[in-house]
Amino acid sequence: MIRFLFRRAAQGAFVLWAAFTASFVLLFLLPSDPVLTMLGADGQGANVDPVEVAALRTEYGFDQPVWLQYLSRLGAALRGDFGHSMSTGAPVTTEIAAALPATGLLALIAVCLAVVIAAGIAIAATSTSHGWLRRFLLALPPLGVAIPTFWLALVLLQIFSFRLGLLPAFGAEGWTSLVLPAITLALPVSASMAQVFASSLDATWGSPFVQTARAKGARRPRLLTRHVLRNAISPALTVAGVTLGAVLAGSVVTESVYGRPGLGRLAEQAVAAQDIPVVQGIVVLAAAIFVIANLGVDVLQARIDPRLLSGGAR
Amino acid sequence: MTRPARLLAVALAPLLALTACSAAQPATPTSSAATTPVAGGNYVHALEAEPGGCLDGAQQRFHVALNIVRQATDSLVDLDPETGKIVPWLATAWEISPDAKTFTFTLRDDVTFSNGEKFDATAVKANFDRISALGAKAVGAGPVLAGYTGTTVVDPTTVKVDFAQPNIQFLQGLTAAWLGFISPTDTQKTADQICSGDYSGTGPFVIDSYTKNDSAKLSKRTGYAWPSATAQHTGEAYLDSVTFTFLSESGVRVGALQSGQVNSVSLVQPQDEAVLTGSGFSTLVASPPGLVQTWIANQSSALGGDEAVRKAISLALDREALTTLYGSGFAPATGLLSPNTPYFTDLSAYITHDPTAAAATLEEAGWTLGSDGIRVKDGVRLSLNVINVFPEQAELLQQQLKTVGIDYQIRKLDNAASSQAIAQGDYDFYVWNMTRADPDVLRGIFSSVGGAQAYSRAQPSAADAPLAAQAGETDSAKRQALVDEASIELAKSYVAIPQLTRAWVYGLGKDVHGFAVDGEAKILLYDTWIG
């Protein structure tokens, strides 16, 4: 187990370094000048004194060779210092820390909701003896994947906020403001989870050990909880780890439509303003969340299925 | 986001229509009869964007941020949007030296900042010195203070501001929110601290908190007694508190207004205007003063420097057709400045739609039609490299110019790419507007003298002399003559091609009264009340 964890942690560190480097390269390959962008933050272009621009460029270190900028940023990042936002001047860590709780809470609720919906659909579809119900339930996930987040958000708003007045359309105060954004984020994510889980359940129900257990007289509910779920959950867990990425990506649109503060909006604005330090901070954070989530999934899977640890075939 | 927004508007049209119907049913002539202002209430206004992470007026020229700043800070003088005249505010009187280099202000003696500090000559000096020290970061207030050499405190209520060169636009520039005053203690804070809204102004509201991407919360300043001469009442503001929220989706803004979750909204889209007015809501159409939507020729580029091309573009533009892209208040331009800008010059004679004449002009200059319908001269295709900050016009402009043989290349640029292209001169034309209630806005863009000609990369011209002279002319009749002369020079050489005058449409709740805008079309909530 220790060696397994060590190997995964080393892989994770590599992913973080790669994310940092890739974001740096991408941002520096962009043809635009971050200092001019900062001064013309409203998109009306820059009309300023070149001497003052040069002074600002020196202040932010953009006058140094690119490799030196890379090394000094990497060195600082290792110490947890991602520099200062170019649009607001606040430390990047402060900006992210301010945005993280709102997105974190939203993402957590969305993922939990997605798991419940996905499990509900998959178990119901694979357990029912009504063919029509099964077909209906299994048709839901492809539909869910196909719905654009943006459209879903506005339809939910139109019905539950503007028409029925049940929930607020914007803001981040109180639990009611979380309901619609959480559903918006959860539905597409739950769809892909449900799809994988349903087919995995199907495969497990058909496997020989289940037939053996059934032949020994085990009833369906007991079979499901004691035998089938344990074996079928592994692929769904893998998908769940990946969906965290989808939730973070979905937060860009969701937070913008619902006027909520958070990482998604911070990322959107930082990219538009070419605020390099903030973009890098967010990219590395997203990579870290991804790495940790997948590490968690791996550990969980190893607990559920010890065969994984020995490297044997499943 | 505009494209999906538009698609969505179509997708949601039936739902919106339903909402409109149900909202229209009661048809009660509710509170329009109420005329006596009622104090109290927590007001919510939905702005169309995040204020760019900064609530320091001096560091902003983004109107969204200035709309918030305006409620919390006051200016030395104000611009009456009705008359275009400069009127008293924190200064009761002022005097301009004949050379327009020295401005002396007499200050009110009863004004305090919300942290208790007194507003006096020393406070004025501290503010101007701070903005001057901000340098390039003072994108809003910096140009107003161009050539600033210092402020002299004559006595507590008299202050003298000096410039190295004539700077008549200073007086109007003072009226805008970017020169609202903050307390002397706050002027010592860093630029970033002030960005966070952590300062005390003298305004009718106090900024309590600003959470990026969420909201700015303000509360009434108790004891406020020094409104501008344009205000409808005296004493404290009516509203107890004001919350600005930032909703970038226009459909969400209008839905929030209709369902009573906000009291007013910014930037109502054309498709929503009828929905609102049809269901008993009202709108306020504000015309921002300053440079209208204008094709600014990059005079250092080959095509932007070609007068025949410029003239042909102006003649080929069907401005009336372009207005159909927009809602109320948009109209074909009649000058380089919008008609409500002080010192407006009527240039209708140079703004006509005549595709035949456009084609003839090009033909005469040697631009002949190629096989693909685009003109060619000496092997060069008449293909325009345009940076247009109004992307919604692109397809229509492309069609209109194609009819006379001009190819309009559609460029999709984000803020960063656009800033870069401008800095490098990578454009033939820049289509833009600039809110500023003073004709000096023309000098900043079209004069070849000084450092501020980035957009037009102007060549020396007959417009230079009058543009320079108007900046130092204290006599308003003479200044008008100089502005006229400069405007006509710019228009007849087509280095500036006026397109549309524009408008901002605000949506107002049924119980909202006294919602107003200032001389630069920024929101004023001082006179606003709910009832």
Is A266's CB within 8 Å of B52's CB? no
Enumerate the domain spans of chain B. 9-286+504-530, 290-501
Kindly tell me if the per-residue pLDDT of B31 is higher than 60: no
State which CATH number among 3.40.50.300, 2.40.30.60, 3.40.190.10, 3.30.980.20 fits the domain covering B9-286+504-530: 3.40.190.10
Q: How confident is the model at residue B14 (pLDDT cuts 50, 70, 90)?
A: very low
- Give the pLDDT mean for B91-95: 97
pLDDT attached to residue A310: 63
Cα angle A252, A254, A255; round to 5? 70
Q: Work out whether strand B282-286 and strand B407-409 pair parallel, antiparallel, or are unpaired.
A: unpaired
Count CB neighbours of B476 within 10 A.
12
pLDDT attached to residue B451: 54
State which CATH number among 2.40.50.140, 3.10.105.10, 3.40.50.720, 3.20.130.10 fits the domain covering B290-501: 3.10.105.10
pLDDT attached to residue A31: 65
- Give the pLDDT mean for B116-123: 97
Kindly tell me if the per-residue pLDDT of A229 is higher than 90: no
Cα gap B116→B223, rounded to integer Å: 11
Find the closest chain B residue to A259 by CA distance.
B247
Query: Minimal CA–CA distance to A166: which of B259, B250, B276, B42?
Result: B259
Determine which of A47, A177, A256 to mutate to test the interface with B (most B C-beta atoms within 10 Å): A47
Which of B226-230, B359-363, B409-413, B478-482 shows the lowest mean pLDDT across its residues?
B409-413
Q: Number of CB pairs < 8 Å for A and B?
A: 185
Which amino acid type is present at position A126?
A: T
pLDDT attached to residue B34: 61
Cα gap B406→B403, rounded to integer Å: 7
pLDDT in tens, B95-117: 999 999 999 999 999 999 999 99
Cα gap A141→B95, rounded to integer Å: 73
Which of A43-57, B54-68, B162-176, B360-374 shows the lowest mean pLDDT across its residues?
A43-57
Mean pLDDT of chain A: 83
Chain A: closest CA distance from residue B356 (Å): 34
Cα gap B181→B124, rounded to integer Å: 7
pLDDT in tens, B318-330: 999 999 999 888 9
**ipTM score assigned to the predicted complex:** 0.77
CATH superfamily of A93-310: MetI-like (1.10.3720.10)
Q: Which two tokens stand for residue B40?
A: 């109290």
pLDDT in tens, A252-296: 889 989 988 899 989 888 887 778 889 889 999 988 888 888 888
Enumerate the domain spans of chain A. 2-78, 93-310
Q: Which residues, listed in sequence order, are joined to residue B215 by a DSSP beta bridge?
A: B211, B245
Chain A from 235 to 274: CB within 8 A of any B CB = 255-262, 265-266, 269, 272-274
Q: Which residues contact B486 (CB under 8 A, 6 or more apart)?
A: B442, B443, B446, B463, B466, B467, B470
Is A40's CB within 8 Å of B419's CB? yes
Q: Are B60 and B69 in contact (CB under 8 A)?
A: yes
A103 interfaces chain B, CB cutoff of 8 Å: no
Kindly tell me if the per-residue pLDDT of B1 is higher than 60: no
Chain A: closest CA distance from residue B108 (Å): 34
pLDDT attached to residue B22: 37
Cα gap B138→B230, rounded to integer Å: 27
DSSP result, A124-177: HHHH---HHHHHHHHHHHHHHHHS-HHHHHHHHIIIIIIIS--S-SS-S-TTHH
Q: How confident is the model at residue A203 (pLDDT cuts 50, 70, 90)?
A: confident
pLDDT attached to residue B7: 43
Which amino acid type is present at position B152?
A: T
Chain A from 168 to 187: CB within 8 A of any B CB = 168-172
Find the closest chain B residue to A275 by CA distance.
B416
Mean pLDDT of chain B: 90
Considering the entire predicted model, what is its pTM? Answer: 0.84
- Give the pLDDT mean for A52-62: 75
Per-residue burial over B217-230, b = 16 or more CB atoms within 10 Å of its CB, e = otherwise: bbbbbeebebbbeb
Cα gap B318→B402, rounded to integer Å: 12
Q: Are B209 and B89 in contact (CB under 8 A)?
A: no
Q: Which residues contact B36 (CB under 8 A, 6 or more apart)?
A: none
Which carries the bigger pLDDT value, residue B41 or residue A235?
A: B41
pLDDT in tens, B240-274: 999 999 998 888 999 999 999 999 999 999 889 98
Cα gap A277→A282, rounded to integer Å: 9
Query: Minimal CA–CA distance to B351: which of B336, B368, B366?
Result: B336
Find the closest chain A residue to B61 by CA distance.
A42
pLDDT in tens, A66-121: 888 888 888 888 888 888 887 777 889 998 998 899 999 999 999 999 999 999 99
What 3-state class would DSSP assign to B65?
Answer: helix
The Cα-based distances of A119 to A111, A115, A163, A202 in angstroms read: 12, 6, 31, 13
Angle between helical axes of A229-257 and A176-205 (0-180°, round to 10): 150
Cα gap A243→A184, rounded to integer Å: 14
CA B217 remoteness from chain centre: 23
Find where tokens 């995040």 sit.
Answer: B50
The Cα-based distances of B136 to A160, B75, B191, B283, B442 in angstroms read: 47, 22, 12, 37, 20
Write out chain B residues lying below 8 Å of A150, CB-based. Answer: 4, 8
pLDDT in tens, A147-187: 888 899 999 999 999 999 899 998 888 889 999 999 999 99
